[in-house]
Homo-oligomer: A and B are copies of this chain.
Amino acid sequence: MTVANSVQIKSPLAAEELQKLDAYWRAANYLSVGQIYLRDNPLLKQPLTIEQIKPRLLGHWGTTPGLNFIYVHFNRLIKRYDLNTIYICGPGHGGPGMVANTYLEGSYSERYNRITQDEEGMKQLFLQFSYPGGIPSHAAPETPGSIHEGGELGYSLAHAYGAAFDNPDLMVCCVIGDGEAETGALATSWHSNKFLNPERDGAVLPILHLNGYKIANPTVLARMSDRELESLFVGYGYKPYFVEGDDPAMMHQLMAGTLDEIVAEIQGIQRDARTHGFKQRSQYPMIILRTPKGWTGPKEVDGLPIENTFRSHQVPLAKLGSNPEHLRMLEAWMKSYKPEELFDHTGKLKPELAELAPSGDRRMGANPHANGGLLLQDLRLPDFRQYAVPVTDEGTVETESTRILGEFLRDVMALNLDSRNFRVMSPDENNSNRLNAILEVSDRVFTGEILPIDDHISTDGRVMEVLSEHLCQGWLEGYLLTGRHGFFSCYEAFIHIVDSMFNQHAKWLQTCEDIAWRLPIASLNYLLTSHVWRQDHNGFTHQDPGFLDIVMNKKPNVIRIYLPPDANTLLSVADHCLRSRQYVNVIVAGKQPELQWLDMESAIKHCTAGLGIWQWASNDSGHEPDVVMACAGDVPTLETLAAVDFLRSHYPDLKIRVVNVVDLMTLQPQTEHPHGLSDREFDSIFTVDKPIIFAFHGYPYLIHRLTYRRTNHRNLHVRGYKEEGTTTTPFDMVVVNDLDRFHLANDVIDRVAKLRNTGAYTKQIIRDKLIDHQRYIIEHGEDMPEVQDWKWQYYSGSSSEKKTIEHASSTESAMVGDDSTARSAE
């Protein structure tokens, strides 16, 4: 090993310190093995018997000794330099190591009083691991000091950077598994250094743990030459240090010496930037730690090599019941750590070892940054009402709703610039999503080369743009989990790229609900825009509203979905989301110019209720309607109101009730979601027996899924997005999906008893309209003027009676029905 940045084996550790450090490490390893195997005899005071072994051996040994090694060395470092450090455990399946170390340092017992630092506590510590009623086998929310479960690999480094942003004093120790390093998310996370500014941000020390093997395969990175590895990380912008070996004493010296050097280097970078201002991106150090998988475990079992092979991944000795030799090997293995030198006879860690750990909040298991709710400050929010779009006549003025939201977010940003606790993420779509206004008060951040021609980019911006949904999501999670706030805007279709990360974050939040010491953190707020219905520049591959289905699968108490139909409702919803805690909030709203429906007072009431009858658009005057026309989402709302207009023009006597849904959760039964309407309320709004034509933003099934238990579900007819290929005018898009005003009107004619036999003329008109549309767009490449320029005419300020009279002449007389144009729904 003759690589540039490998440290000459100095010997920074005096003999006694070395011996103690190694003893502490042995203690952590001992406790890790104990968790996997033992349910009794924790100190091995008696010869080990099979009855003391857990009947089911679960967990992962292979990565654990390396994780323990790093933890122990960081303890030394924290004490020596008074560092403020959290530990992100990429290979989260090495959970026993994280539990062992927090137990040794005392932070574990402080949170779990039952797990005392004595023999009985140790027995319970062992027993509970991966055991019914006990704790998970990963670095889960239950684990003190963790903000990263690590079960799904790939997100450690993005989490680490997210934690370091705006935490100038924090140094994040981030262990990256070499298997994890093969994932896409991790592979691009290395570039996060181009977004870190040492003047205001903390540091991340990535430690690539070259453990050699995954479950059954060598890792890709472990089989690269040192030259390629070094080149790769230099290319990523780091200065790699190799720490490599299997002799503990040598490795302790090497690791201690390397870390001393690295701390000096990082502190030098920070000092320089904080004294002279940030000049240019520095090469931050990173460590390539090459240790044997299953280090210090059994070398060989049944003639097969174990240590340093994939066979040590989970439980190296698994046939204890059937093979007494294995039981003896386990005992020998555990005794090789010399527990009697580590713990006193009561089971307590010996004081001369205990003092190696930092104390108080400096312990990595007690660092408040890893329990972000402790540090969380409320955002300062401007009064969202002041951004209101004036709407005196409903459905007559057009605005880009997300552009209005951008003005609100601009001032949220401005108000919190000093507190440095709010960031906005987007995969290169901030402006495309019309949130440009934010850039008036904060640039985009970039610490790579910036050219004069660049637009609103600087080293101290708070808008984070990178063409990776993984990074946006990972950074934001890390930022939120350490007690800050954020907002993530994304093209709707491509949010699926992080389905899996959303799943994991929602599971984390849900689990935290049952952990009293984990305080609530700010919600993860998504704005999904550039949505399915308006992909003019793109097409079919940019159309996918299915993220809502993914979200709905998660536990109701941690998820919220909002579909504000216009700018004022969007403002109200966004304000609510930014104040909320412990949720994932999904807001879906379009960025294109669209008609505005509600003034701010009405918008607030509507959003507070979550769903409601739009009386100004309805003509059932408080009586039972003939039909309920419901809508959720901006484009469906537009088409529904245009359909209502069409119907009211043709059938002034038809009693239509218009219901708009902002908060999708209200549709669910109260038993399923806290926002769910009671059946009584639901029935009073949707009736118990009238047809409901529901125009929905997403896949239509979702509405059925939410409502199938409701009284009137049998009369519910949903139109939503179907996988129907590309199209290139906005209106054609809804026509292809049968979600347009004409199909909706046709649905009503088909379903309302009193029209069924009289609707032929109107249906003929509808058919002709659709043919006109098809001809027009082929000829002109854009929508028919009557569609493009359509506005609502029955607004509160207007005399709807006059209007309806004007159109009364076009109402058809009774005729035998003609259903031939009705297209199949959904």
A303 within 8 A of B: no
The docked-state distance in angstroms from the alpha carbon of A140 to that of B223 is: 38
When distances are taken between beta carbons in the complex, the residues of chain B under 8 Å from A416 are none
- The segment out of A175-183, A402-410, A563-571 that lies at the interface is A175-183
CB distance from A718 to the nearest CB of B (A): 10
Residues of B within 8 A of A137 (CB): 537-539
Contact A504 B132 (CB under 8 A): no
- Determine if B183 and A432 form an interchain contact, defined as CB atoms under 8 angstroms apart: no
Q: Which of A220, A228, A451 has the most CB of B within 10 A?
A: A220
Is the beta-carbon distance between B540 and A457 smaller than 8 angstroms? no
A102-110, A720-728, A738-746 - interface stretch? A720-728
Given A182-B188, A553-B699, A540 contacting B507 (CB threshold 8 A): yes
Residues of B within 8 A of A786 (CB): none
Residues facing B in A671-728 (CB within 8 A) are 671, 699, 701, 704-705, 708, 713, 723, 725-728
In the complex, which residues of chain B have a beta carbon less than 8 angstroms from the beta carbon of A538?
93, 136-138, 151
Question: Which residues from B are CB-within-8-Å of A430?
Answer: 216
Cβ contact of A220, chosen from B55, B194, B555, B725, cutoff 8 A: B194
| CB neighbours of A713 from chain B (8 A) | 708
Interface status of A763 (Cβ within 8 A of chain B)? no
Contact of A457 among B183, B186, B217 (CB under 8 A): B217
User: Is there contact, CB below 8 Å, between A453 and B309?
Assistant: yes
Q: Is chain A's binding surface mostly helix, strand, loop or mixed?
A: loop
Chain B residue at minimum C-beta to C-beta distance from A698: B553
CA distance A507 to B541 in the complex (A): 7
Given contacts A137-B537, A220-B194, contact A152 B493 (CB under 8 A): yes
Give Cα A426–Cα B459 distance, bound, in whole angstroms: 41
- Complex: how many Å from CA A482 to CA B208? 36
Task: Decide: A537 and B184 in contact? CB cutoff 8 A.
Answer: no
Any B CB within 8 A of the CB of A185: yes
User: Which residues of the partner chain B approach A457 to less than 8 Å between Cβ atoms?
Assistant: 217-218
Name the residue of chain B whose CB is nearest to the CB of A309: B453
Which residues in chain A, 98-139, are within 8 Å of chain B measured between CB atoms? 130-134, 136-138
A539 x B140 contact (CB < 8 A): yes
A495's nearest neighbour on chain B, judged by CB, is B500
- 9-residue interface stretch from A78-86, A259-267, A466-474, A629-637: A466-474
> Which residues of B are found within 8 Å of A581, using beta-carbon distances?
none
Q: Which residues of B contact A780 (CB under 8 A)?
A: 55
**Contact indicator A448/B224 (Cβ below 8 Å):** yes
Q: Digitize A606-636: 1 where CB-to-B-CB distance is under 8 Å, 0 elsewhere.
A: 0000000000000000000000000000000
Chain copies in the assembled complex: 2
CA distance A351 to B55 in the complex (A): 80
A396 at the binding interface (Cβ < 8 Å): no
Answer yes or no: A810 CB below 8 A from chain B CBs.
no
Interface residues on A, range: 35 or more
User: Is A310 among interface residues, defined by CB-CB distance under 8 A?
Assistant: yes
Report whether B182 and A468 are in contact in the complex, using a CB–CB cutoff of 8 Å: yes
* Choice from B58, B153, B499, B728 contacting A499 with Cβ under 8 Å: B499
- Interface hits, A18-76 → B, CB 8 Å: 39, 54-56, 58-60
Contact mask for chain A residues 383-406; partner B; CB cutoff 8 A; 1 contact, 0 none: 000000000000000000000000
A640 interfacial contact with B, CB 8 Å: no
Shortest C-beta distance, A432 to chain B (Å), equals: 5
Q: Which residues of B contact A510 (CB under 8 A)?
A: 723, 725
Q: Is the CB of A229 within 8 A of B220?
A: no
Residue of B nearest to A149 (CB): B541
B728 touches A130 (CB 8 A): yes
Contact indicator B220/A191 (Cβ below 8 Å)? yes
Query: Which residue of B494, B504, B723 is within 8 Å of A500 (Cβ)?
Result: B494
Which of A308, A310, A541 has its CB near the most chain B CB atoms (within 10 A)?
A: A541
Bound complex: CA of A113 vs CA of B235, how far in Å?
49
Set of chain B residues within 8 Å of A723, measured between Cβ atoms: 506-507, 510, 553-555
Decide if A216 touches B431 in the complex (CB within 8 Å). Answer: yes
Query: In the complex, what residue of chain B is closest to A219 when comparing beta carbons?
Result: B467
Judge whether A218 and B56 touch: CB under 8 Å.
Answer: no
Complex interface: stretch among A325-333, A357-365, A543-551, A811-819: A543-551
B187 A182 Cβ-Cβ under 8 A: no
Q: How far is the CA of A449 from the CA of B218 in the complex (A)?
A: 9
- Pick from B188, B223, B429, B553: contact of A446, CB below 8 A: B223
The smallest C-beta distance from A238 to any residue of chain B, in angstroms, reads 10
**Residues 424 to 473 of chain A near chain B (Cβ within 8 Å):** 428-432, 444, 446, 448-451, 453-455, 457, 465-468, 470-471
How many angstroms between the C-alpha atoms of A500 and B692 in the bound complex?
Answer: 33
Cβ A231 vs Cβ B234 within 8 A: yes
Contact with B along A762-803 (1 / 0, CB 8 A): 000000000000000110111000000000000000000000
Listed from nearest, the 7 A-B pairs whose CB atoms lie closest are: A232-B235, A184-B184, A151-B541, A231-B235, A187-B187, A187-B188, A223-B448
13 A-B pairs with C-beta separation under 8 A: A54-B781, A137-B539, A179-B467, A182-B191, A183-B188, A187-B187, A216-B465, A220-B448, A308-B453, A550-B550, A554-B723, A671-B824, A704-B704
Residues of chain A touching chain B, judged by Cβ–Cβ distance below 8 Å, are: 39, 54-56, 58-60, 93, 130-134, 136-138, 140, 149, 151-154, 179-180, 182-191, 194, 214-220, 223-225, 228-237, 305, 308-310, 314, 428-432, 444, 446, 448-451, 453-455, 457, 465-468, 470-471, 493-494, 496-497, 499-500, 503-504, 506-507, 510-511, 514, 536-542, 544, 546, 549-550, 552-555, 671, 699, 701, 704-705, 708, 713, 723, 725-729, 732, 777-778, 780-782, 824
In addition to A152-B497, A183-B470, 15 A-B residue pairs with Cβ atoms within 8 Å of each other are A39-B781, A93-B537, A132-B777, A132-B781, A151-B542, A154-B497, A183-B467, A184-B468, A187-B188, A218-B451, A231-B235, A234-B235, A499-B550, A506-B723, A546-B550
